Amino acid sequence: MKIETPFDLGAWSAAHLDRVERALERWVTAEAPAGVDHGAPAELVEAMRYAVLDGGKRLRPLLVMAAWEAVSGETAMAGHDEAALRAGHCEAALRAACAVELIHAYSLVHDDMPCMDNDVLRRGKPTVHVKFGEASALLAGDALQALAFELLTPEMDEMPAAQQARLCRLLARAAGSAGMAGGQAIDLASVGVALSESQLRDMHRLKTGALLQASVMMGAACGDAPNVAQAALGRYGAAIGLAFQVVDDILDVTADSATLGKTAGKDASQDKPTYVSVLGLERSAAHAQELLGQALAALAQSGLRHTEALQGLAEMVVNRSC
Protein backbone atom coordinates (compact mmCIF):
# COMPACT_ATOMS: atom_id res chain seq x y z
CA MET A 1 0.00 0.00 0.00
CA LYS A 2 1.34 3.42 -0.99
CA ILE A 3 1.79 5.84 1.91
CA GLU A 4 1.35 9.47 0.93
CA THR A 5 3.72 11.95 2.51
CA PRO A 6 2.21 15.02 4.20
CA PHE A 7 1.89 18.07 1.96
CA ASP A 8 4.77 20.50 2.46
CA LEU A 9 3.59 24.01 1.54
CA GLY A 10 7.07 25.45 2.02
CA ALA A 11 8.69 23.06 -0.44
CA TRP A 12 5.80 23.36 -2.88
CA SER A 13 5.95 27.17 -2.77
CA ALA A 14 9.73 27.27 -3.12
CA ALA A 15 9.62 25.14 -6.29
CA HIS A 16 6.98 27.31 -7.93
CA LEU A 17 8.50 30.58 -6.75
CA ASP A 18 11.78 29.59 -8.38
CA ARG A 19 10.03 28.85 -11.68
CA VAL A 20 8.01 32.06 -11.60
CA GLU A 21 11.06 34.16 -10.70
CA ARG A 22 13.10 32.67 -13.54
CA ALA A 23 10.23 33.23 -15.97
CA LEU A 24 9.82 36.86 -14.92
CA GLU A 25 13.58 37.34 -15.23
CA ARG A 26 13.35 35.97 -18.77
CA TRP A 27 10.26 37.89 -19.88
CA VAL A 28 10.84 41.33 -18.31
CA THR A 29 13.74 42.23 -20.57
CA ALA A 30 15.00 44.83 -23.03
CA GLU A 31 15.31 42.22 -25.77
CA ALA A 32 13.12 42.76 -28.80
CA PRO A 33 10.20 40.32 -29.21
CA ALA A 34 10.11 38.14 -32.31
CA GLY A 35 9.27 40.19 -35.38
CA VAL A 36 10.19 43.53 -33.76
CA ASP A 37 13.26 45.44 -34.92
CA HIS A 38 14.26 46.97 -31.58
CA GLY A 39 13.88 46.36 -27.89
CA ALA A 40 12.60 48.60 -25.10
CA PRO A 41 14.65 51.52 -23.71
CA ALA A 42 17.09 50.21 -21.13
CA GLU A 43 16.11 52.81 -18.52
CA LEU A 44 12.45 51.86 -18.75
CA VAL A 45 13.19 48.15 -18.45
CA GLU A 46 15.44 48.82 -15.45
CA ALA A 47 12.49 50.47 -13.66
CA MET A 48 10.19 47.60 -14.67
CA ARG A 49 12.58 44.98 -13.36
CA TYR A 50 13.11 46.94 -10.14
CA ALA A 51 9.34 46.94 -9.63
CA VAL A 52 8.71 43.25 -10.19
CA LEU A 53 11.83 41.17 -9.54
CA ASP A 54 13.26 39.89 -6.26
CA GLY A 55 10.47 40.88 -3.93
CA GLY A 56 6.95 40.26 -2.73
CA LYS A 57 5.06 37.22 -1.53
CA ARG A 58 4.10 36.12 -5.07
CA LEU A 59 0.77 35.02 -3.62
CA ARG A 60 -1.11 35.58 -6.85
CA PRO A 61 1.18 33.39 -9.00
CA LEU A 62 1.04 30.69 -6.33
CA LEU A 63 -2.76 30.78 -6.42
CA VAL A 64 -2.67 30.36 -10.19
CA MET A 65 -0.42 27.33 -9.95
CA ALA A 66 -2.33 25.80 -7.05
CA ALA A 67 -5.67 26.12 -8.85
CA TRP A 68 -4.17 24.70 -12.03
CA GLU A 69 -2.87 21.70 -10.12
CA ALA A 70 -6.25 21.19 -8.44
CA VAL A 71 -8.26 21.12 -11.67
CA SER A 72 -5.67 19.17 -13.67
CA GLY A 73 -5.46 16.44 -11.05
CA GLU A 74 -1.80 17.07 -10.34
CA THR A 75 -0.23 16.78 -6.92
CA ALA A 76 2.63 19.01 -5.78
CA MET A 77 5.08 19.84 -8.58
CA ALA A 78 8.04 18.18 -6.88
CA GLY A 79 9.63 15.80 -9.35
CA HIS A 80 8.38 17.68 -12.44
CA ASP A 81 11.27 18.98 -14.47
CA GLU A 82 11.32 22.27 -16.37
CA ALA A 83 10.44 20.61 -19.66
CA ALA A 84 7.31 19.12 -18.09
CA LEU A 85 6.31 22.48 -16.64
CA ARG A 86 6.54 24.11 -20.04
CA ALA A 87 4.40 21.49 -21.74
CA GLY A 88 0.76 21.98 -22.72
CA HIS A 89 -1.50 23.61 -20.14
CA CYS A 90 1.46 23.89 -17.78
CA GLU A 91 2.95 26.58 -20.01
CA ALA A 92 -0.37 28.42 -19.92
CA ALA A 93 -0.39 28.30 -16.12
CA LEU A 94 3.14 29.70 -15.89
CA ARG A 95 2.27 32.53 -18.28
CA ALA A 96 -0.92 33.26 -16.33
CA ALA A 97 1.02 33.26 -13.05
CA CYS A 98 3.52 35.78 -14.38
CA ALA A 99 0.84 37.92 -16.03
CA VAL A 100 -1.13 38.36 -12.83
CA GLU A 101 2.06 39.26 -10.94
CA LEU A 102 2.89 41.90 -13.56
CA ILE A 103 -0.56 43.44 -13.10
CA HIS A 104 -0.08 43.40 -9.33
CA ALA A 105 3.36 45.02 -9.65
CA TYR A 106 2.05 47.74 -11.96
CA SER A 107 -0.75 48.52 -9.51
CA LEU A 108 1.74 48.92 -6.66
CA VAL A 109 3.94 51.24 -8.72
CA HIS A 110 0.98 53.51 -9.48
CA ASP A 111 -0.59 53.26 -6.01
CA ASP A 112 2.65 54.40 -4.37
CA MET A 113 2.91 57.58 -6.45
CA PRO A 114 2.28 61.03 -4.91
CA CYS A 115 -1.06 61.39 -6.71
CA MET A 116 -2.28 58.19 -5.02
CA ASP A 117 -0.95 56.95 -1.66
CA ASN A 118 2.36 58.87 -1.81
CA ASP A 119 4.44 56.10 -0.22
CA VAL A 120 8.22 55.85 -0.16
CA LEU A 121 8.76 52.22 0.92
CA ARG A 122 7.67 49.03 -0.84
CA ARG A 123 9.00 45.50 -0.38
CA GLY A 124 11.68 46.84 1.91
CA LYS A 125 13.18 49.27 -0.61
CA PRO A 126 12.42 52.74 -2.01
CA THR A 127 9.32 52.88 -4.19
CA VAL A 128 9.78 53.10 -7.95
CA HIS A 129 8.97 56.81 -8.23
CA VAL A 130 11.46 57.58 -5.45
CA LYS A 131 14.17 55.57 -7.21
CA PHE A 132 13.49 56.54 -10.83
CA GLY A 133 11.24 59.62 -10.76
CA GLU A 134 7.49 59.98 -11.24
CA ALA A 135 7.44 59.96 -15.05
CA SER A 136 9.54 56.79 -15.26
CA ALA A 137 7.40 55.11 -12.61
CA LEU A 138 4.22 55.94 -14.50
CA LEU A 139 5.64 54.53 -17.74
CA ALA A 140 7.04 51.45 -16.01
CA GLY A 141 3.59 50.65 -14.60
CA ASP A 142 2.00 51.14 -18.01
CA ALA A 143 4.57 48.87 -19.63
CA LEU A 144 4.14 46.13 -17.00
CA GLN A 145 0.39 46.16 -17.60
CA ALA A 146 0.85 45.81 -21.35
CA LEU A 147 3.43 43.04 -20.94
CA ALA A 148 0.97 41.03 -18.84
CA PHE A 149 -1.42 40.71 -21.77
CA GLU A 150 1.43 40.06 -24.19
CA LEU A 151 2.40 37.04 -22.11
CA LEU A 152 -1.15 35.69 -22.37
CA THR A 153 -1.16 35.92 -26.18
CA PRO A 154 1.94 34.09 -27.45
CA GLU A 155 2.40 33.89 -31.21
CA MET A 156 3.35 30.22 -31.23
CA ASP A 157 0.91 27.33 -30.72
CA GLU A 158 1.59 27.22 -26.99
CA MET A 159 -1.98 28.16 -26.01
CA PRO A 160 -5.28 27.75 -27.87
CA ALA A 161 -6.83 31.05 -28.98
CA ALA A 162 -9.96 30.45 -26.89
CA GLN A 163 -7.84 29.94 -23.79
CA GLN A 164 -5.86 33.10 -24.49
CA ALA A 165 -9.09 35.08 -24.79
CA ARG A 166 -10.53 33.64 -21.60
CA LEU A 167 -7.40 34.40 -19.59
CA CYS A 168 -7.21 37.94 -20.96
CA ARG A 169 -10.88 38.51 -20.13
CA LEU A 170 -10.48 37.28 -16.56
CA LEU A 171 -7.42 39.46 -15.97
CA ALA A 172 -8.83 42.56 -17.66
CA ARG A 173 -12.05 42.42 -15.66
CA ALA A 174 -10.17 41.99 -12.40
CA ALA A 175 -7.81 44.88 -13.13
CA GLY A 176 -10.31 47.34 -14.62
CA SER A 177 -13.06 49.67 -13.52
CA ALA A 178 -15.19 46.84 -12.14
CA GLY A 179 -12.18 45.45 -10.28
CA MET A 180 -8.90 46.76 -8.94
CA ALA A 181 -8.95 50.21 -10.57
CA GLY A 182 -12.54 50.77 -9.51
CA GLY A 183 -11.73 49.75 -5.96
CA GLN A 184 -8.79 52.15 -5.86
CA ALA A 185 -11.07 54.96 -7.05
CA ILE A 186 -13.50 54.22 -4.22
CA ASP A 187 -10.60 54.05 -1.77
CA LEU A 188 -9.33 57.50 -2.78
CA ALA A 189 -12.83 58.94 -2.52
CA SER A 190 -13.33 57.41 0.94
CA VAL A 191 -10.53 59.21 2.78
CA GLY A 192 -12.06 60.75 5.88
CA VAL A 193 -15.44 59.15 5.14
CA ALA A 194 -17.18 56.82 7.60
CA LEU A 195 -18.05 53.67 5.63
CA SER A 196 -20.35 50.91 6.77
CA GLU A 197 -19.05 47.35 6.89
CA SER A 198 -20.90 46.47 3.68
CA GLN A 199 -19.46 49.52 1.89
CA LEU A 200 -15.97 48.66 3.09
CA ARG A 201 -16.42 45.04 1.98
CA ASP A 202 -17.58 46.11 -1.47
CA MET A 203 -14.58 48.42 -1.87
CA HIS A 204 -12.05 45.76 -0.90
CA ARG A 205 -13.69 43.06 -3.00
CA LEU A 206 -12.83 45.26 -5.95
CA LYS A 207 -9.51 46.79 -4.90
CA THR A 208 -7.84 43.67 -3.49
CA GLY A 209 -10.17 40.71 -3.80
CA ALA A 210 -10.84 40.85 -7.54
CA LEU A 211 -7.24 40.15 -8.59
CA LEU A 212 -6.78 37.40 -6.00
CA GLN A 213 -10.01 35.73 -7.09
CA ALA A 214 -8.97 36.11 -10.73
CA SER A 215 -5.67 34.40 -9.95
CA VAL A 216 -7.60 31.32 -8.80
CA MET A 217 -9.95 31.40 -11.79
CA MET A 218 -7.09 31.87 -14.25
CA GLY A 219 -5.41 28.78 -12.84
CA ALA A 220 -8.66 26.90 -13.23
CA ALA A 221 -8.97 28.15 -16.81
CA CYS A 222 -5.64 26.45 -17.60
CA GLY A 223 -7.23 23.08 -16.85
CA ASP A 224 -10.53 21.39 -17.51
CA ALA A 225 -12.71 21.83 -14.44
CA PRO A 226 -16.43 21.01 -14.28
CA ASN A 227 -18.85 23.87 -13.57
CA VAL A 228 -19.35 22.79 -9.96
CA ALA A 229 -15.63 22.97 -9.29
CA GLN A 230 -15.27 26.33 -11.03
CA ALA A 231 -18.10 27.81 -8.95
CA ALA A 232 -16.53 26.49 -5.75
CA LEU A 233 -13.14 27.91 -6.70
CA GLY A 234 -14.80 31.25 -7.34
CA ARG A 235 -16.20 31.23 -3.79
CA TYR A 236 -12.80 30.20 -2.44
CA GLY A 237 -11.10 33.05 -4.29
CA ALA A 238 -13.65 35.60 -3.10
CA ALA A 239 -13.22 34.51 0.52
CA ILE A 240 -9.43 34.62 0.60
CA GLY A 241 -9.39 37.82 -1.44
CA LEU A 242 -11.36 39.57 1.27
CA ALA A 243 -9.48 37.78 4.06
CA PHE A 244 -6.19 39.05 2.68
CA GLN A 245 -7.37 42.65 3.05
CA VAL A 246 -8.78 42.10 6.53
CA VAL A 247 -5.42 40.74 7.68
CA ASP A 248 -3.61 43.56 5.86
CA ASP A 249 -5.65 46.08 7.84
CA ILE A 250 -4.83 44.25 11.08
CA LEU A 251 -1.09 44.17 10.31
CA ASP A 252 -1.11 47.87 9.45
CA VAL A 253 -1.76 48.59 13.14
CA THR A 254 0.03 45.65 14.78
CA ALA A 255 3.29 45.27 12.80
CA ASP A 256 6.18 47.65 12.12
CA SER A 257 7.51 48.91 8.79
CA ALA A 258 10.59 46.66 8.89
CA THR A 259 8.40 43.57 9.24
CA LEU A 260 5.90 44.64 6.60
CA GLY A 261 8.42 45.97 4.08
CA LYS A 262 6.17 49.01 3.63
CA THR A 263 5.12 51.96 5.75
CA ALA A 264 3.12 50.79 8.77
CA GLY A 265 0.25 52.87 10.13
CA LYS A 266 -0.29 54.55 6.77
CA ASP A 267 -4.05 53.97 6.67
CA ALA A 268 -4.66 55.56 10.05
CA SER A 269 -2.41 58.53 9.27
CA GLN A 270 -4.33 59.15 6.04
CA ASP A 271 -7.71 58.69 7.76
CA LYS A 272 -8.68 55.79 5.50
CA PRO A 273 -11.51 53.45 6.50
CA THR A 274 -10.23 49.95 7.35
CA TYR A 275 -11.62 46.80 8.90
CA VAL A 276 -9.92 47.71 12.16
CA SER A 277 -11.43 51.21 12.19
CA VAL A 278 -14.90 49.85 11.37
CA LEU A 279 -14.98 46.55 13.31
CA GLY A 280 -12.17 46.89 15.82
CA LEU A 281 -9.13 44.64 16.13
CA GLU A 282 -10.76 41.65 17.83
CA ARG A 283 -13.77 41.45 15.50
CA SER A 284 -11.51 41.90 12.48
CA ALA A 285 -9.36 38.95 13.54
CA ALA A 286 -12.49 36.85 14.09
CA HIS A 287 -13.82 37.84 10.67
CA ALA A 288 -10.57 36.74 9.02
CA GLN A 289 -11.02 33.30 10.58
CA GLU A 290 -14.64 33.20 9.38
CA LEU A 291 -13.47 33.92 5.84
CA LEU A 292 -10.86 31.17 6.13
CA GLY A 293 -13.64 28.78 7.11
CA GLN A 294 -15.65 29.85 4.06
CA ALA A 295 -12.65 29.29 1.78
CA LEU A 296 -11.97 25.80 3.12
CA ALA A 297 -15.65 24.90 2.92
CA ALA A 298 -15.69 25.93 -0.73
CA LEU A 299 -12.75 23.65 -1.46
CA ALA A 300 -14.54 20.77 0.27
CA GLN A 301 -17.53 21.39 -2.01
CA SER A 302 -15.44 21.56 -5.18
CA GLY A 303 -15.17 17.81 -5.70
CA LEU A 304 -11.48 18.26 -6.52
CA ARG A 305 -9.01 15.81 -5.01
CA HIS A 306 -5.77 17.77 -4.90
CA THR A 307 -6.53 21.02 -3.08
CA GLU A 308 -3.70 20.79 -0.56
CA ALA A 309 -1.86 23.80 -1.95
CA LEU A 310 -5.03 25.92 -2.05
CA GLN A 311 -5.78 24.97 1.54
CA GLY A 312 -2.26 25.81 2.64
CA LEU A 313 -2.29 29.16 0.87
CA ALA A 314 -5.62 30.12 2.46
CA GLU A 315 -4.24 29.34 5.92
CA MET A 316 -1.07 31.28 5.13
CA VAL A 317 -3.08 34.33 4.03
CA VAL A 318 -5.05 34.48 7.27
CA ASN A 319 -2.33 33.46 9.73
CA ARG A 320 0.57 35.44 8.27
CA SER A 321 2.56 37.99 10.27
CA CYS A 322 3.72 40.23 7.42
Q: pLDDT (tens digit, 9 = 90+) per residue, 176-220?
A: 999 999 999 999 999 999 899 999 999 999 999 999 999 999 999
Residue 156 CB coordination number (10 Å) = 7
Query: Among residues 149, 27, 141, 11, which one has the least CA distance to residue 79?
Result: 11
Question: pLDDT tens digits, residue range 51-71?
Answer: 999 778 999 999 999 999 999
Q: What is the pLDDT of residue 86?
A: 45
pTM: 0.92
The H-or-E segment that residue 126 falls in is strand 125-126
Contact 229, 71 (CB under 8 A): yes
Q: Is 121 helix (H, G, I), strand (E, B) or coil?
A: strand
Residue 321 CB coordination number (10 Å) = 9
Query: Among residues 178, 204, 210, which one has the least CA distance to residue 190?
Result: 204
Does the pLDDT of residue 88 top 50, yes or no?
no
Of the pLDDT bands very low, low, confident and very high (cuts 50, 70, 90), residue 78 is very low
Does the pLDDT of residue 1 top 60, yes or no?
no
Residue 7 CB coordination number (10 Å) = 15
> What residue type is assigned to position 291 of the chain?
L
Average pLDDT over residues 111-129: 93
Q: What is the pLDDT of residue 123?
A: 87
- Which bin fits 177, alpha (ψ -120 to 50), beta or left (φ > 0)? alpha
Of the pLDDT bands very low, low, confident and very high (cuts 50, 70, 90), residue 322 is confident
The residue that leads in pLDDT, 211 or 306, is 211
Domain ranges of the chain: 9-319
Contacts of 43 (CB under 8 A, 6+ apart): 132, 136
Q: Which residues pair with 121 in a beta bridge?
A: 126
Q: What is the pLDDT of residue 127?
A: 96
Does the pLDDT of residue 4 top 80, yes or no?
no
Distances (CA, A) of 89 to 54, 123, 220: 26, 31, 10
Does the pLDDT of residue 34 top 80, yes or no?
no
Q: What is the pLDDT of residue 73?
A: 78
CATH of 9-319, one of 3.40.50.10330, 1.10.3720.10, 1.10.600.10, 3.40.710.10: 1.10.600.10
